[in-house]
Structures are given as structure tokens and as C-alpha cells.
Structure 1
Amino acid sequence: MESAYPGMQVLLANNLMTAYNQAESVQPTFAFIEDGFTKLPEFEMMMALFSALDTRWVSVMDSHSEAPARKSNPLLDRGAGIFELSKSDHPVQFVQYFDMMVKAPRRTASGRGPAMNGTKAPVSTTDKIILIGSSTGGVEALRSLLVGFPANCPPTVIVQHTGKNFGPGLVALLNRICAASVVAAQDSIQLQPGTVHIAAGQSQHLGLTPRKPHRTRLKEGPPISGHTPSVDALFSSAVPFAKNVVATILTGMGQDGARGLLELRKAGATTFAQDEKSSVVYGMPRVAWQNGAAQKQVSLARMAGTLLQACKA
């Protein structure tokens, strides 16, 4: 490849964390990924970064006789990694894949997120707070949703299940593409319009203080609903002021968040769940719909508008 493309820079990484940091730094045009890496839960973060950077990638299997990861991974089955190579393929085939993908039409700059022209939108006057819980498939879902939020969006608090090393990367990725300010959840921070707080890969549960002005609260404790941080913990903490809460559960495995969302709805919150068709894994949203926690199921494409409209009610 270096002979076919003079001046090409090639970087190597033997773990996803290194690969993620390299990709975020140099914004590569293309990546070959050993298929075993695509089976790791953290690969969801790599796919989201590749999507944001418009980086093309192809998975490389040990041999063509094994089943590719995409056959069993719902994340990969959504269109990513649809081509595979094996380590036994001739180098010419690698060059052909690279050539084909690099020459494919690229996204325009406008596809990389909202334009930042330095102008400030009027400060939001709503008293509503948006709460979001997500798990498997949630990284891409949050990308799609938060791009639809304006710079002055209502205060937003999110719990996303992810590996402990990838929380900062998720925050940086979402902050890169969103008009609002996306920050890692910290303790005792006052909620403000235009700021999105995310707890991902942290060792403490995230909640909110009951009295105004509401503040974030990080709390030690055992896993709740199998997770730390837990969506249920976040939702339950907001029950005392539920009438000012708009909450949703996005794609994810298991049932974290369904119980807390039901508590919120019973206390007067407006509640939603992502629909089955647009969910990568229809687990958490399914439970929230079946137990009556969600008032309505909404597609991912309509979720941002639905949440923002509910905040005006």
C-alpha cells in the first residue's frame, strides 16, 4: 500500500484504546480492524468515532471459514463492516479494498455535525430537565439524538453503559459534533441550559439533588439493576421533581431504567422509549414499554424533536 500510495502514513495499534486515541488524533482515512476487536463491547465507540470522522474500515478475519463478528453482533449487522478480508488473502486484495473504499464518495463537511458560527442562541427559559438512559447501540443513538439539540437545549443528564476507559472518549466525541456543551458528569454541578452531563464508564452512580437549583450528585454504591452508573439510579433521584422531567430510554440490553422510568411516570414525568425498529437492541426500551413506564414509543429519528417539544408543554 505504501508503494501504491506514496506518502501514506500507517499507524499500528494492538488494543482498542490505543486505536481510538490514534484515530481521534490523526483522523485516518481508512482502518483495517482485526475481527476479534469488533466483537468487543467497546468497539461501539470505535464505530461512532469512525462515523463522525467519515473513516472507512474493513474487518480482517483469521480465515474465511470462521463466521464474521457481524453475523452475531447486532451493532455490526446495521451496515458497518459489511466487507471482510482474511489474513490469508493476498496483499493485492487488501489494496483493492482500500482503493475501493477510499475512492467512494465522501461526506460533505456539513455532515459532521452542526455548524458552529459563534452566535449564541437565546437562553432557554424552560424549567424542564431531560434525562436519558442507554446501553448497547446507545453511542450511535446519542450521536444521532444530540446533533438535533440546539446550543441552548434544556439541561440534559445521561447515563450510558460503556467500558470504564471509554467514557472520556465518548464525551469528547459528542462534544465535537453537538451544538450544546457536552461534559463528563461531576459531583455538585448546577444544571444549566445548553449543557449535557454524561455518566459513562464511571465507578459511581449519577443522581440529581431534589431542591432547586438542581445539581448533579455522584454516589458510591453497589451496582443497581446490574450497572454502575445505573439509569435506574438517575431516574429515581428525579422522582421528587418528576413534573419537571422529560425522560427516555434508548436502545440497550437488559432492563436498567425501566423501573425508574415507571416511578417517574407515576410521579408526573413525561416519558418515552425508543421504538423497536430503530433500536439496535430492543431490550431496555421493550421492558419500559411493557411495564407501562413509557407513555409513547418514538423512533430515533424523531426522538430529539419529541423531547424538545415535550419540554415546551
Structure 2
Amino acid sequence: MESAYSGIKVLLANNLMTAYNQAESVQPTFAFVEDGFTKLPEFEMMMAMFSALDTRWVSVMDSHSAAPARKSNPLLDRGAGIFELSKSDHPVQFVQYFDMMVKAPRRNETTNRPASNGKTSATANSTDKVILIGSSTGGVEALRSLLVGFPADCPPTVIVQHTGKNFGAGLVTLLNRICAAKVVGAEDSIQLAPGTVHIAAGQTKHLGLTPRTPHRTRLKEGPAISGHTPSVDALFSSAVPFAKNVVATILTGMGQDGAKGLLELRKAGATTFAQDEQSSVVYGMPRVAWQNGAAQKQVSLARMAGTLLQACKA
């Protein structure tokens, strides 16, 4: 690659954490990814980073006869490789592939990024409502798609996302980079305010909210709930005392974390939703929430941001 293009710089990484840090730092134009890495759950974070940066990438197979780790790729429409390369391919083929993908039309950035990078917590939003979100597998990209639809003065928003412990801080940085609202990692005893999104991901404590106003975040140690720490059920259950001021949703994910807590919220007067099957990467958590009656309505990911914001005005 370096001999084929004057001035090009090639970086190497033998683990996803290194690759993620490099991508965040230098914002690469293209990435060749060993197919084995795409099998890891944490690769979802890499895909979200590539998407945010409009970095083209392709998986490199062990051989042309090998089955791709990901038969369908959620980033194909954002410049990911459609035809896999093999480790046995000649370097010229890698150069040709690089050439083809880099010269392909870039997407329209204005559809994915906030109008301004200024992170000021606006006070124009006068709603008393709080938005709660739970997500798991496929949730990184879902959150990215949803939160870019939130204005800078969005209602206070609190999220639990299942992710690897080493990638929680990276998720917060990634979302804060592309969202108009201020995105922060969950901390203990922080007062909720419009224009701020609190995310618990990869943490060792459960995230909840205090019942009295002004509501504050609460981090609490304890065993896994519904198989997870932090747990969506723990967050939802903590908000039952003020459920009438809650708008909550469960996004794509495996298992059933959040379905029980969402049902408690709905019975107590909250407005509740679940992502629909067609737009979910894994229709597990949303399916259980729909089948047990916890969600009042199923909503596509494309309409979720608008649905949540509109519910806060009701």
C-alpha cells in the first residue's frame, strides 16, 4: 500500500481496542479487517466508529472458500466491503480494492451530523419528562441513529447499553462526537438536565434514578439483574415511582433484560415503546417487551427519535 500511494500511512493493530483507539485518533480513510475480528461482539463498536467517520472497510477472509463471519453487513450502505478479499490474494488486488472503495461516492454528511459541534445544554425544553432507553446487541448503531435525531435541548435521557467493559468510554466519546446533545458516561449523584444524555455501558454498577425531584443518577453495586450489569431492568424499575413522567423504550438486543422493568413502568403510567422486528439487528429484548405487554407500540428505528420526543410533549 505504501509503495502504491505516495504519502500514504498504514497503521497496524492486532486487537480491537488498539484499532479503535487508532481509528478515533487518526480517522482513517480505509481499513482492512481480518474476518475473525468481525465475529467478536465488540466489533459493533468498530462498525459504529467506521460509520461515524465514513471510513470504508472490508473483511479479509482466510480463504475464498471460507464462510464470512457476517453474512449480512449492516454497514454495506455506508461503504463497507461487499466482496471479501482473501489472505491469499495478490497485493495488487488489495490496492485495486482500496482504489475502488475510496473513489466511491461519499455519503452526505449533513444527514448524519448535528448542525453545530457546540455542546451547550439548552434550557428551552420545558418538559418534565425523562427518556429511558435500554439496548444490547446492535444497540451501538441503533443509539447512533437515534441520538443524532435528538436536539441540543432534548429531554433528560438515561441509557443502559450492554457492551464490553473496555468499550464503554469509547461509546460515550463516539456518540458525543456526532450528537447535538451532550453525551456523558453515567456517574453517581448527577442531577438530570435537558440537553444531557447519560449512558451506562461497560460499568460494574447498576444505574438507577432517585425518586424525588430533581432526579439524580444513582450507581449501585449488586449482583447481575436479568443476567447483566448494568441492567436495563434496574434502570426502569428505579423510575417506577415517577412513571407518569417517563417515556421509555427497548431497542435491539438479545435476551429479555428490560422487559420486566418496562412492564412495571407501563402499569405505573409511563409511555412505553419497543423497536420493531424489521429494524432490529436482534429481535430479542424488544420481542419479549412486546409479547408481555410492556410496550404500548412497536416503532421502527428510523421513527424512534421522533416518537420519543413527541411523547415527551404529550
The TM-score with structure 1 as length reference comes to: 0.96
Which residue number in structure 2 is paired with residue 301 of structure 1?
A: 302
What is the RMSD of the two structures over their aligned residues, measured on CA atoms? 1.6
Match status 1:47 vs 2:47: yes
Distance 1:279 1:112 in 2: 20
Give the C-alpha shift of residue 78 in structure 1. Answer: 8.4
SS in 1 for 2:222: coil
Give CA deviations for 1:48-103 in whole Å, capped at 9, x if unaligned: 000000000000111112211112x7757888543211111111111111010000
Equivalent residue letter for 2:244: K
Q: Percent identity?
A: 88
Which residue number in structure 2 is paired with residue 174 of structure 1?
A: 175
SS in 1 for 2:131: strand
Q: Is the 8 A contact 2:118 2:180 kept in 1?
A: no
Equivalent residue letter for 1:243: K
Counterpart mapping for 1:6-45 below 5 A = 6-45=6-45
Q: Is the 8 A contact 1:70 1:76 kept in 2?
A: no
Counterpart mapping for 1:51-70 below 5 A = 51-70=51-70
Distance 1:256 1:75 in 2: 23
Give the C-alpha shift of residue 278 in structure 1. Answer: 0.6
SS in 2 for 1:271: strand
* C-alpha spacing 1:74/1:28, structure 2 compared with 1 (3 Å): closer
Which residue number in structure 1 is paired with residue 86 of structure 2?
A: 86
Which residue number in structure 1 is paired with residue 139 of structure 2?
A: 138
How many equivalent residue pairs? 312
The TM-score with structure 2 as length reference comes to: 0.96
Match status 1:103 vs 2:103: yes
Q: Is the 8 A contact 1:255 1:287 kept in 2?
A: yes
Q: Is the 8 A contact 1:150 1:179 kept in 2?
A: yes
Match status 1:285 vs 2:286: yes
Q: Is the 8 A contact 1:249 1:273 kept in 2?
A: yes
Q: Is the 8 A contact 2:272 2:297 kept in 1?
A: yes
Distance 2:73 2:132 in 1: 25
Q: Is the 8 A contact 2:119 2:181 kept in 1?
A: no
Q: Is the 8 A contact 1:249 1:285 kept in 2?
A: yes
Counterpart mapping for 1:106-117 below 5 A = 106-116=106-116
Distance 2:147 2:196 in 1: 11
* C-alpha spacing 1:31/1:118, structure 2 compared with 1 (3 Å): closer
SS in 2 for 1:162: coil
Q: Which moved more, 1:142-151 or 1:112-121?
A: 112-121
List structure 1 runs of 4+ shifted beyond 6 angstroms.
76-79
Which residue number in structure 2 is paired with residue 196 of structure 1?
A: 197
* C-alpha spacing 1:298/1:221, structure 2 compared with 1 (3 Å): same
